[in-house]
Structure 1
Amino acid sequence: MNRGEREAAVRRIMERGGAPLPPGLYGEAVRRGDRLLRQRQLVRRVLWLLAFAAAVTFAVWAAEAQPWAEPPSQTTPPLTGW
């Protein structure tokens, strides 16, 4: 089959039109799309809430533990001159 024959075959297929669709397909697609959008919004909100909670938890821990401060020495300096 050469290029011209393929183009003609494609034109014949496209001129026939599409297959008939079930009557409730559009409504079902819209309902499913709405449900998916609501689920994505809910997941996005939950993730933002978790990120905010993690940031607050880290801020409280950092303020309490002060990891930037040098820890106190565990040994005493040697005593000389007694």
Structure 2
Amino acid sequence: MSPPDRKEAEVRRLVQQRTAEPVPADLAERALAEGARLLRRRRALGAALWTGVLAALLVLAVWALVLHPWAAPPPTTTPPAVGW
């Protein structure tokens, strides 16, 4: 048999003491309000991030349509004259 675990014994002692401080009566309501606030903040942040990503994609698409970066650059010299 294994010897008793020190942590387990300490937890048992704490549970058996029952001298914990009383829980506030409005704890559940405060926890619910805090959770709702965090959820609203997370949703707002997600919406802002998605809006930023979509705006960046829109800017990229407009830039690509206006400048045609895939096209070859215009020649900087004139072609040689043939027949001279």
Q: Normalising by structure 2, report the TM-score.
A: 0.77
How far apart in 2 are the matches of 1:79 and 1:8?
98
How far apart in 1 are the matches of 2:28 and 2:74?
70
Counterpart amino acid of 1:24? D
Q: CA deviation at 1:4?
A: 3.2
How far apart in 2 are the matches of 1:39 and 1:68?
41
Alpha-carbon distance change, 11 to 69 in structure 1, aligned in 2, over 3 angstroms: same
Identity of aligned residues (%): 44
1:54 aligns with 2:42: no
How many residue pairs align between the two structures? 80
Secondary structure, aligned partner of 2:4: helix
Q: CA deviation at 1:8?
A: 4.0
Secondary structure, aligned partner of 1:44: helix
Corresponding residue for residue 25 of structure 2: 23
Alpha-carbon distance change, 65 to 12 in structure 1, aligned in 2, over 3 angstroms: same
CA-based RMSD of the aligned residues comes to 2.1
Corresponding residue for residue 41 of structure 1: 43
Q: CA deviation at 1:51?
A: 0.7
Q: CA deviation at 1:81?
A: 4.5
* Segments ≥4 residues shifted beyond 6 Å: none
Alpha-carbon distance change, 51 to 9 in structure 1, aligned in 2, over 3 angstroms: closer
Secondary structure, aligned partner of 1:20: coil
Q: Normalising by structure 1, report the TM-score.
A: 0.79
